[in-house]
């Protein structure tokens, strides 16, 4: 108060001005933490067709997980390696703050990798592309929560090795069905009763397959209407067809053809 009484008019005006500025700054300040700006996930858009084909055997990529699913990058790497690609590394997205999380998948590439990226995008549903500053033709595949592969088309019947097993009380059923499927080109390995002793009174058939056997299993399924696919732990690509109690006959050959895969649906929120 003493200081306020001894200052001159000019000083008083200055003091009031400074006080006003301080009050203004104080009023604008807050102990609340600043609101963090979050980046919206990237939604897919239509991509142009590749100008030329780059096979997966010519594709070198890193696979990074930006989803909430543990181990997704490793599983995707196993699938793409089986399809023929060269996976250099896997892990979590090393640049999570630089790019928003993709809804499905993002493929990052450099100035020499666009055609590699566009060809890789044909293997992945709803992928988006992003060009960074790399100069080599490697690409990064970033996996979001909506990540899915484009299914591999079923192989020709003559590329499928098939065991046909009977789980019913109908004698000779596996041999009869195996003969019909052999005429369609399937390679028949074994026939007889199910070595696992399975019994499926409520099923037409069960088709068992291993880690990378789903395309071949879907080829067999085309010939057996209502057959149920069951993945087991086998390491090879052989397929088991187990005939259940509701099995009647194979589908006519003219109807046992694959249909065109439907266009991938957009992820939720896009």
Q: Is the pLDDT of residue 12 over 70?
A: no
In a domain, 43, yes or no: no
Q: Tell me, what CATH number does 136's domain have?
A: 3.30.70.2390
In a domain, 120, yes or no: yes
Average pLDDT, the chain: 84
In a domain, 150, yes or no: no
Per the model's pLDDT, the better-predicted residue between 12 and 187 turns out to be 187
Q: Is the pLDDT of residue 23 over 90?
A: no
Say what percent of the chain tops pLDDT 70: 79
Which residue, 143, 175, 201, sits at the end of a domain? 143
Q: What is the pLDDT of residue 179?
A: 98
Residues 249 and 174 in one domain: yes
Kindly indicate the confidence band of residue 26, based on its pLDDT and cuts at 50, 70 and 90. very low
Q: Is the pLDDT of residue 48 over 70?
A: yes
Which domain range does residue 83 map to? 56-143
Which residue, 84, 108, 143, sits at the end of a domain? 143
Domain count, the chain: 2
Q: Tell me, what CATH number does 174's domain have?
A: 3.30.70
Q: Among all chains, which residue has been given the structure tokens 């293997």?
A: 123
Which residue, 143, 173, 206, sits at the end of a domain? 143
Kindly indicate the confidence band of residue 233, based on its pLDDT and cuts at 50, 70 and 90. confident
User: 119-130 pLDDT, tens per residue?
Assistant: 999 999 999 999
Q: Is the pLDDT of residue 7 over 80?
A: no
Q: Is the pLDDT of residue 76 over 80?
A: yes
Q: Is the pLDDT of residue 175 over 70?
A: yes
Say what percent of the chain tops pLDDT 90: 73
Q: What is the mean pLDDT of residues 189-203?
A: 95
Q: Is the pLDDT of residue 137 over 80?
A: yes
Contact (Cβ atoms closer than 8 angstroms) between residue 208 and residue 166: no
Residues 162 and 139 in one domain: no
Residues 117 and 185 in one domain: no
């Amino acid at each position: 108060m003493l200081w306020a009484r001894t200052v001159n008019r000019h000083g008083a005006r200055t003091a009031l001005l400074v006080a006003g500025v301080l009050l203004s700054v104080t009023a604008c300040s807050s102990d609340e933490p600043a609101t963090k700006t979050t980046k919206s996930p990237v939604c897919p858009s239509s991509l142009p067709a590749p100008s030329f084909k780059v096979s997966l055997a010519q594709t070198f990529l890193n696979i990074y997980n930006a989803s909430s699913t543990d181990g997704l990058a490793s599983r995707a790497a196993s699938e793409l390696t089986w399809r023929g690609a060269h996976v250099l590394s896997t892990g979590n997205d090393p640049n999570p703050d630089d790019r928003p999380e993709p809804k499905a998948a993002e493929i990052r590439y450099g100035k020499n990798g666009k055609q590699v990226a566009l060809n890789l995008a044909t293997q992945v549903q709803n992928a988006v592309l992003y060009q960074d500053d790399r100069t080599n033709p490697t690409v990064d595949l970033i996996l979001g929560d909506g990540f899915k592969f484009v299914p591999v088309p079923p192989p020709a019947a003559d590329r499928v090795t098939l065991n046909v097993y009977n789980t019913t009380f109908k004698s000779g059923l596996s041999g009869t069905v195996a003969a019909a499927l052999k005429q369609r080109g399937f390679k028949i390995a074994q026939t007889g009763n199910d070595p696992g002793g399975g019994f499926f009174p409520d099923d037409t058939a069960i088709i068992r397959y291993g880690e990378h056997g789903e395309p071949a299993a879907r080829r067999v399924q085309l010939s057996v209407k209502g057959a149920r696919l069951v993945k087991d732990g086998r390491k090879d690509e052989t397929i088991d067809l187990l005939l259940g109690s509701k099995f009647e006959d194979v589908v006519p050959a003219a109807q046992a053809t694959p249909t065109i895969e439907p266009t991938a649906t957009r992820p939720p929120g896009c």
